[in-house]
Structure formats: structure tokens, C-alpha cells
Amino acid sequence: MSLTNPHTPAGAYALHALDPDERARFEEHLALCTDCSQEVAEFDATAARLARAADIVVSPPPALKQSVLRDITGVRQQPPRSVRAALGAVLPGSSRAGRFLLAACLAATTALGGVATWQSQEAQRAHEQAARA
């Protein structure tokens, strides 16, 4: 692992996934970097919590599968939502307040786009003036 950023291998180091040379190089860096030391400690703690959680296996009651399979036959699948209905849920255009909000967002976007264009043109003019000077 030839990385240009010496902080990158912290996760791999905590999980013992570095080869011996990489591990030695990272340990040299680790001795001097408090951010990496903290990150490795956090990775270690997270890995330990995940390992403990993996040991806790809760088996569902044996009758649960049969119960779900029996009950699912009476549940009707909902039809796919139309694109218009999906957009209606995302864009609240059906109410007066929703239409106003949409119009305000469009106006703000247009205004900000205009300001950005103007600033770009001004910067270009200033650059040209500086080049002429």
C-alpha cells in the first residue's frame, strides 16, 4: 500500500490488515500524529463493539416464519406510484404555499445565477485590465 496520505491506513491498521512493512511505516507516523492515534482508538472501540454485537445472536421463534408466510397471502401489494404522484410528494405544488415556495426557489436560483455570471464577467474584465497594465 503506497499511499501519499500517511493518515489513510488508520482503519486498516486498527483491523490488522496491513502487511508488516506498511504496519511499521504507519506506526512511525502514529507515534507523532495525535489525530491518527485517536482515530485508531475509535476504530478499535468500534471493532470491539461490532464483535460483541456479532456474538449476540437472537433466533426468531420457530413459528414466526410460518406465521409470516401465512399472513402475507392476505396482504395486497401496493401498485407502483406514478411519476406525477411521486413528484407531488416531493414537490408540494398542490397547495398555494407550495407553489409560492417553488416560485421563490426558482427566483432565488435565477438571481444567484445572474450574480455569478456578473461576477465572472467582472473578474474577466479585471484580468484583462491587469494584463494590459
Kindly report, residue by residue over 49-101, the tens digit of the pLDDT.
888 877 777 777 888 888 888 888 888 777 666 655 655 555 554 567 777 78
Q: CA–CA distance from 93 to each of 36, 86, 100 (Å)?
A: 49, 12, 8
Q: Which has the higher per-residue pLDDT, 56 or 113?
A: 113
> How far apart (Å, rounded) are the C-alpha atoms in residues 9 and 76?
50
Which of 52, 55, 46, 53 shows the shortest CA–CA distance to 10?
46
Look at the block and give the residue holding cell 508488516.
20
Provide mean pLDDT across the span 27-36: 92
With cut-offs at 50, 70 and 90, classify the pLDDT of residue 25.
very high
With 0-12 CB in 10 A as exposed, 13-18 as middle and 19+ as buried, what is 9? Answer: buried
**Taking the model in full, what pTM does it have?**
0.41
CB-based contact 71:44 (threshold 8 Å): no
Which of 74, 8, 86 shows the shortest CA–CA distance to 43?
8
